[in-house]
Chain A
Amino acid sequence: MSAPKIQLTGVKKAFGEQIVLDGVDYALPAGESLVVIGGSGSGKSVLLKCILGILKPDAGSIRIDGVETAGARGEAREAVLKKIGMLFQGSALFDSLPVWENVAFRLIQGQGMERKEAKEVALGKLAQVGLGPPVAELYPAELSGGMQKRVALARAIASDPEIIFFDEPTTGLDPIMADVINDLVVASVKKLGATTISITHDMASARKIATKIAMIYGGKFIWTGDAKNIDRSGNAHVDQFIHGRAEGPIQMAVRRP
């Protein structure tokens, strides 16, 4: 077996008193699509931000292609970021730039491509997510939530990354648009042959995207396995989560009447 594309060992992160990640271990082989499921506020976004280096983990190691990235700076960090595309939870489109410049941002600013050439690439990526040239001239604020997600997806895949992170790609969308986005995610990943980590608490989305699933709870991956085994996990936490039951080992911090 080849070395894992992404390897997490004992990743810990706390904000003050609040422990968010309490030793996450996982090895993701190249070409696999991991979906991380878990409740709101369980640290899923924090995990992605640690891998990206936006947040610095307090302890542990994060290796991408065998290279340690936790605490990497300067050129080493650049080299890692070049490989990664990211779709943010709230899309995070630059609202001062038109759609096509959002998609072409890394090509123009990061790689120094000519604006004209970059625009061609951007239009191609937009077409790939089902958006035509008229949309390219609009500003993000003029788009619906579903269209913003598509633009964000086009931006994430614009530089043909080897690794893509999707942070709740379908949250806040109607079920049909959510499914459209799921299909686009699956198609784009297949086209690029990328390794991906997606976050969701939408089980329909997880089933569609994932080849591997991990459940995060209490700052750890409490269950990991192949996506096809999710219904036979034998783990009470997972069962409660995928069936969306209020009763079970996971207690929400709400006062019962």
Chain B
Amino acid sequence: MSGLLAPIGRAFLDALAALGRLALFAGTAIGHMGRPPFYPRLIARQMIEIGYFSLPVVALTTLFSGMVLALQSYTGFARFSAESAVATVVVLSMTRELAPVLAGLMVAGRVGAAMAAEIGTMRVTEQIDALTVLSTDPYKYLVVPRLIAGATMLPLLVLVGDIIGVFGGYLVSVYKLDFNAAGYLRRTWDYLEMIDVVSGLVKAGAFGFLVALTGCYHGYHSKGGAQGVGQATTNAVVSASILILVFNYIITEMFFAK
């Protein structure tokens, strides 16, 4: 019996230890945020990399999610004649859940992986050591700009995603399901509250931070050449995705639990 349980226990302890190391890394990085030198150029470059270049993927995923949401809830709700709730379901699901989670996962795949690969390559080719020797702190130069850019740009992406997702639902409802256009839009607005949007943006900020954090962490600690960098990239995406889903629950609970 213990032979079966031991590996599970070990995996659990390993995961806890990894979480602890990640938290320490985050703490060190945050400690460096407040102290100069600052690198506005690098922050701007990361913002463009994360915000601007992720727009197409986020737009596509949220557009199709909004569309499928309208279709699914229409056919589902028709069973108890509640088709009129489609607009509300679409806007609440998009703003509270789908836009932040989908954008977070997409950005984890796109940006988190790239960060891990770039910083990992810098580690195994001694570029990080070279930074130190040239009197530049790698946390301030590499990690802090990415964390700031991640935490600020993902909310912007999600705001755009919210709008595009609602628009996707509108397209399907009006052009395929023959809803009245003005009525659909009114229903979208009527039941929408500030907290729905705000909670989604808070999630986005947290997810952006987590994606950048895991990307930097795994890159920074990668070792052993190309294979190590590949491993770091995989680990970054997997751990970012898991953390996003866990924190999604935690933040939802903070906002909406009674």
Contact = CB atoms under 8 A, between A and B. Distances in A.
Nearest to A107: B134
B124 to A, nearest CB: 9
Contact of B129 (A82, A84, A88, A105): A88
A86 B130 contact: yes
Interface in A80-101: 81-82, 84, 86, 88-90, 92-96
Q: Do most interface residues of chain B lie in helix, strand or loop, or is the interface mixed? A: helix
Contacts of B127: 92-95
A49 B129 contact: yes
Interface in A106-123: 106, 109-110
A155 B126 CA distance: 15
B125 interface: yes
A106 B130 contact: no
Contact of A78 (B122, B126, B130, B135): B135
Given A86-B130, A88-B130, A109 B135 contact: yes
A54 B131 CA distance: 11
Contact of A92 (B37, B126, B135, B136): B126
Chain B interface category by residue count: 10 to 19
Given A109-B37, A109-B141, A92 B125 contact: yes
Nearest to B127: A92
Interface string B126-149: 110111111110000100000000
Nearest to A156: B133
Nearest to B45: A96
A89 B124 CA distance: 12
A94 B130 contact: yes
Nearest to A167: B126
Contact of B134 (A49, A89, A96, A110): A110
A147 to B, nearest CB: 16
A82 B133 CA distance: 8
A105 B130 CA distance: 10
B53 to A, nearest CB: 16
Contacts of A84: 133
A52 B133 contact: yes
A90 B133 contact: no
A86 B133 contact: yes
Nearest to B136: A109
Contact of A110 (B121, B125, B130, B136): B136
Contacts of A94: 122, 127, 130-131
Interface of A: 49, 52-54, 78, 81-82, 84, 86, 88-90, 92-96, 105-106, 109-110, 155
27 contacts: A49-B129, A52-B132, A54-B129, A54-B133, A78-B135, A81-B133, A82-B135, A86-B130, A88-B126, A88-B129, A88-B130, A92-B126, A92-B129, A92-B130, A93-B127, A93-B130, A94-B127, A94-B131, A95-B121, A95-B127, A96-B118, A105-B134, A106-B134, A106-B135, A109-B37, A109-B135, A110-B134
Which A-B residue pairs are the 4 nearest by beta carbons?
A110-B135, A92-B126, A92-B130, A106-B134
